[in-house]
């Protein structure tokens, strides 16, 4: 499935809705630069990419994922989403993304470090605090960011902690980063419950993806008293209509076991989980989870995209016709990049800000961004999706920046 082709269709929809000129929208149809390398680790070679999509608003910004299914189409699509996400979040970044076609679950620490350093060796000339700033993504973490930072600094010959975010505290990271994506997603989910579900007394929640973001999100929602009836990881799911004991399930998961082995519920497949009757469905796994094949069977009232691109273009239309509201990824999962911005700003200025202040700032930005998207959605009386509202706001900000740079004609 060509993910990027779906992105272009969504871009065309926004161009039509907002009467954007062809020469303007053309600036967002392809990346500024595609960098490719093969990382040689012993007798193995791993394809690797760093794609800078747009820099009208600032340096590139986007994570690096290690996954056996990474492809150029996927990385380009992720970079495109980062452009829109950073614009919508009103932070001074363009968009970029990186990836290595590699399965870290099959690697020992020595190989994992070698791949990380080889990535920095391959792309260090493209990276930098004012050029393109990576961060963790699927199957990467602060430890991997540390190796990349160290290798980068060896290459350039100076300290530059702002060239990467999601680092350990000792290397200039910030504590808030560990659950920032989940924290942001939780805040907009609460707004969706208030605005769309009208603060329904008992809200049932299903979560696909029980990794870092999905797990933290589940804990936050359960702590507020919402009934989590099902969760899943890559090996399957667990379902209990009466509600799962989330604290016990997290302990079970952290012991190294799969959630479908948990005894206090019925084991189900990921496919079954998506089609459960629920108020909120949180998608926190990978791309292309809801497609034309299963969209008609989705029974959730609201879907929150904590993952990037979990719903394909044609499925979006089916869900809209079913009156299922989708809180789009570029809004729902933007907490991570907002906190990355806080980390980057501290690294560049040397000014250390209190954690409570940053928590409040994240809260304010997420609520303001939700409000802008939801207000635009209401202005169109529900004739557009929340995704189209979000894309419209993000695209217009980028094109204004391009206009001021003299790259597009005034509207």
Q: What is the pLDDT of residue 381?
A: 79
CATH 3.40.50.720: which residues of the chain?
174-411
* 3-class secondary-structure state, position 247: helix
pLDDT for position 361? 96
Instruction: Identify the sign of the CA torsion 102, 72, 334, 309.
Output: negative
Task: Return the active site residues.
Answer: 97
Beta bridge partners of 96: 52
Query: What pLDDT is attached to residue 410?
Result: 47
DSSP E strands, 19-145: 33-41, 44-54, 60-61, 64-67, 95-101, 132-133
Sole residue written with tokens 């000792």: 170
Instruction: With beta carbons less than 8 A apart as the criterion, state whether 319 and 297 touch.
Output: no
Sheet of strand 95-101, all strands in order from the earlier edge strand to the far edge: 33-41, 44-54, 95-101, 64-67
Residues of the chain with CATH 3.40.50.10860: 29-173
* CATH match for 29-173 among 3.40.50.10860, 1.10.730.10, 3.40.50.12280, 1.10.3720.10: 3.40.50.10860
∠ CA 52-353-158, nearest 5°, is 50
Q: For each of the chain's 411 residues, which pLDDT tens digit applies?
A: 688 999 999 999 999 999 999 999 999 999 999 999 999 999 999 999 999 999 999 999 999 999 999 999 999 999 999 999 999 999 999 999 999 999 999 999 999 999 999 999 999 999 999 999 999 998 999 999 999 999 999 999 999 999 999 999 999 999 888 889 999 999 999 999 999 999 888 999 999 999 889 999 999 999 999 999 999 998 999 999 999 999 999 999 999 899 999 999 999 999 999 999 999 999 999 889 999 999 999 999 999 999 999 999 999 999 999 999 999 999 999 999 999 999 999 999 998 889 999 999 999 999 999 999 999 999 987 799 999 999 999 999 999 999 999 986 544
DSSP label at residue 8: H
What pLDDT is recorded for position 242?
95
CATH homologous superfamily of domain 174-411? NAD(P)-binding Rossmann-like Domain (3.40.50.720)
Report pLDDT for 68.
96
Q: Is 2 marked as a binding-site residue? A: no
Q: Spell out the residues 6+ positions from residue 330 whose beta carbon is closer than 8 angstroms to its own.
A: 81, 84, 85, 88, 387, 390, 391, 394
pLDDT for the residue 409: 54
Q: Is there a binding annotation on residue 71?
A: no
Q: What is the reported pLDDT for 19?
A: 94
Which spans in 127-259 are helix H? 142-156, 180-195, 212-223, 246-254
Q: 258, 235 in Cβ contact below 8 A?
A: yes
Residue 76 · residue 5 · CB < 8 Å: no
Say what the pLDDT of residue 89 is: 96
What integer pLDDT is reported at residue 218 of this predicted model?
Answer: 96
Q: Distances from the Cα of 254 to the Cαs of 109, 197, 217, 258, 391, in angstroms?
A: 20, 32, 15, 9, 37
C-alpha 33 chain-centroid distance = 21
pTM of the model: 0.93
Buried b (16+ CB within 10 A) or exposed e, 387-407: bbbbbbbbbbbbbbbbeeeee
Contacts 24+ apart (CB under 8 A), 215-219: 215/182, 215/250, 215/253, 216/179, 216/181, 216/182, 216/183, 217/182, 217/185, 217/186, 217/189, 217/282, 217/284, 217/306, 218/246, 218/250, 218/282, 219/246, 219/247, 219/250
75 near 99, Cβ under 8 Å? yes
**Could you give the C-alpha distances from 255 to 36, 142, 205, 216, in angstroms and in order?**
38, 21, 24, 16
Is 61 annotated as a binding-site member?
A: yes
What is the C-alpha to C-alpha distance for residues 69 and 84, in angstroms, rounded to an integer?
24
Question: How much is the pLDDT for 1?
Answer: 61
Coil, helix or strand at residue 99: strand
Geometric angle at alpha carbon 398, from 394 and 403, rounded to 5°: 145
SS3 of residue 168 by DSSP? coil
pLDDT at 177: 83
Nearest to 148 by CA among 108, 105, 111, 119: 119
What's the pLDDT score for residue 2? 83
**What secondary structure does DSSP assign to 278-329, as a single string?**
-SEEEE-S-S--B-TTTGGG---SEEEE-SSS-B-HHHHHHHHHTT-EEE-H
Dist CA 411 CA 393 (whole Å): 16
């Amino acid at each position: 499935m060509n993910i990027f082709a779906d992105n272009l269709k969504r871009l065309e929809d926004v161009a039509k809705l907002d009467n954007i000129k062809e020469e303007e929208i053309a600036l967002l149809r392809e990346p500024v630069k595609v960098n490719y390398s093969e990382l040689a680790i012993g007798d193995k070679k791993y394809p690797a990419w760093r794609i800078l999509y747009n820099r009208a608003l600032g340096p590139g910004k986007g994570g690096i994922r290690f996954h056996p299914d990474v492809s150029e189409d996927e990385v380009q699509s992720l970079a495109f989403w980062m452009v829109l996400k950073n614009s919508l979040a009103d932070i001074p970044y363009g968009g970029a993304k990186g990836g290595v076609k590699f399965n870290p679950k099959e690697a020992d620490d020595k190989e994992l470090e070698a791949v990380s350093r080889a990535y920095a060796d391959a792309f260090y000339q493209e990276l930098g605090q004012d050029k393109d700033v990576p961060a963790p993504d699927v199957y990467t973490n602060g430890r991997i960011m540390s190796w990349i930072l160290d290798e980068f600094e060896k290459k350039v010959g100076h300290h530059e902690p702002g060239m990467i975010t999601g680092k350990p505290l000792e290397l200039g990271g910030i504590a808030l980063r560990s659950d920032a994506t989940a924290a942001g997603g939780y805040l907009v989910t609460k707004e969706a419950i208030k605005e769309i579900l009208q603060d329904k007394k008992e809200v049932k929640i299903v979560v696909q993806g029980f990794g870092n973001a999905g797990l933290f999100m589940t804990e936050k929602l359960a702590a507020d008293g919402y009934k989590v009836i099902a969760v899943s990881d890559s090996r399957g799911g667990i379902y209990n209509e009466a509600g799962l004991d989330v604290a016990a399930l997290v302990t079970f998961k952290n012991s190294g076991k799969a959630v479908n082995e948990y005894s206090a519920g019925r084991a189900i497949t990921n496919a079954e989980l998506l089609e459960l009757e629920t108020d909120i469905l949180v998608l926190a796994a990978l791309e292309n989870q809801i497609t034309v094949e299963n969209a008609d069977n989705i029974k959730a009232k609201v879907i929150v995209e904590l993952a990037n691109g979990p719903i394909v273009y044609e499925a979006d239309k089916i869900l809209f016709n079913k009156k299922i509201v989708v809180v789009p990824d570029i809004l729902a999962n933007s907490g991570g990049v907002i906190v990355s911005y806080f980390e980057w700003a501290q690294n560049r200025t040397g000014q250390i800000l209190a954690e409570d202040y940053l928590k409040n700032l994240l809260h304010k930005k997420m609520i303001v961004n939700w409000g802008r998207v939801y207000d635009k959605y209401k202005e169109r009386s529900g004739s557009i999706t929340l995704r189209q509202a979000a894309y419209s706001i993000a695209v217009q900000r980028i094109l204004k920046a391009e206009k001021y740079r003299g790259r597009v004609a005034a509207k």
